[in-house]
Amino acid sequence: MIYLDNSATTKPYPEVLDSYITVAGKFFGNPSSLHALGGKAEKLLQQARAQVAGILGVKSEEIVFTSGGTESNNLALKGATMAAASRGKHIILSAIEHPSVSNAAEHLKESGFHSTIVPVDKTGKINVKDIIKEIKEDTILVSVMHVNNETGIIQPINEIGKALLDYPKILFHVDYVQGVGKVPLDLTECKIDLCSISGHKFHGLKGTGALFVRDGIRLHPLLSGGNQEKIRRSGTENVAGAVSMAKALRMTMESQQAHSDRMTEVLSILRKSVEGIPGAVIHTPEHGSAPHILNFSLSGVKAEVFVHALEEKGIYVSTTSACSSRHSKGSKTLLAMGVPQDLAESAIRISLSYENTPEEAEFAGQAMREAAIRLREVMSR
Ligand SMILES: Cc1ncc(COP(=O)(O)O)c(C=O)c1O
């Protein structure tokens, strides 16, 4: 199997599974319980929090464990705006945010909030000036993703954060879900107030994630209950999930150090192969995008048919993002970039992990070429 769908999800590291099983089996106490078993679980939870915080370069108290990227984004969007509603009700976001951000903003309309969607250019990049010019008296939050999940474009997060320093009352949320372990992001260098990560995107387990909440920022909780996570996220903590996610984060960061050149090489082999396919249009810009994502369309070839043809050879890729791949309206990101509807509807996404090798890329490249030529012949008959 050649797995090239790592932006949808990654295979958990065996060590991550081991640590989950150990913690879930041996330290199953409720961290809120007063007895020793509870105390051990609480200690492990706080150790995991300190590890995640240390890797992200922030304070332990600033990490809230969640169930993943969707929850982190919802908690940031809804929790922070609800808590700041007395200051204003206006939100700014980019046109290519993940649905867990854009739909959260949409739902906030029911509570009287309003949002401005800032367009992107044809590479998918947002212009800082376009954000700043949309700031109004009542703007309370700006949300911009770090790496786009469909094309891999990297947004100028540092520049946006620095520009927002002139507006201290506006919170800045960054969806870092696709960038973790692939494209460095310094949470302290620029004014990031809220930042989402998701364990299963970096070889952790599904149902694990975290939201960084800068010290002093108030959140209206989405879940009411036992006031865990300093009242920011009620519910008995997923200790084994948190411990295993901390391990996955550390291992991913180590892989980044050790294998980032290889990942760049693997993607460049795949890019060259796609460039060599007649009628291929690559949507991921060669510069300024993440090292693990390549998005392209093959004119005259249906994306689903192409995905299944590759699957027959044991190669797993996807049509756009996992959450939109079952609805074929066309990729929102590509349409926002001005890609024509027919190409936006037939986009393919390849996404790598540090485990992919140049040999796999050569094999997949050749298979893609053969499949494209064969399918185009069949479809033109
Ligand atoms: C950029 C981005 N944000 C958020 C999410 C949602 O994360 P999760 O699957 O952990 O809910 C995803 C998942 O694809 C994503 O790619």
Per-residue model confidence as pLDDT tens digits over 198-253: 999 999 999 999 999 999 999 999 999 999 999 999 999 999 999 999 999 999 99
Q: Residue 310's Cα: distance from chain center in Å?
A: 25
Alpha helix ranges (H) inside 200-350: 239-275, 303-311, 332-336, 341-345
The H or E element spanning position 175 is strand 171-175
Q: What is the pLDDT of residue 85?
A: 97
Q: What is the pLDDT of residue 300?
A: 84
Q: What letters, b where the CB count within 10 A reaches 16 and e where it falls short, cover 210-244?
A: bbbbbeebebebbbeeeebbeebbeeebbbbbbbb
Tell me if 348 sits within 8 A of 289, measured CB to CB: no
CA of 145 to the centre of ligand 1 (A): 11
Structure tokens at 329: 């309206």
Tell me if 190 sits within 8 A of 173, measured CB to CB: no
Nearest CA to ligand 1 atom 9: 69
Active site residues: 323
241 Cβ closer than 6 Å to some ligand 1 atom = no
Q: Which atom belonging to ligand 1 lies closest to the Cα atom of 200? A: 10
Residue stretches of the chain with pLDDT short of 50: none
5 Cβ closer than 6 Å to some ligand 1 atom = no
Q: What is the pLDDT of residue 297?
A: 96
Q: Which residues contact 87 (CB under 8 A, 6 or more apart)?
A: 138, 140, 169
Return the best residue to mutate from 70, 96, 174 for the ligand 1 pocket (most ligand atoms within 8 A of CB). Answer: 70
Q: What is the pLDDT of residue 330?
A: 80
Predicted structure pTM score: 0.97
pLDDT tens for 55-88 read 999 999 999 999 999 999 999 999 999 999 999 9
CA of 9 to the centre of ligand 1 (A): 9
Q: What is the pLDDT of residue 379?
A: 76
Q: What is the pLDDT of residue 326?
A: 56
Q: What letters, b where the CB count within 10 A reaches 16 and e where it falls short, cover 103-142?
A: ebbeebeeeebebbbbebeeebbbebeebbebbeeebbbb
320 Cβ closer than 6 Å to some ligand 1 atom = no
98 Cβ closer than 6 Å to some ligand 1 atom = yes
Nearest CA to ligand 1 atom 5: 69
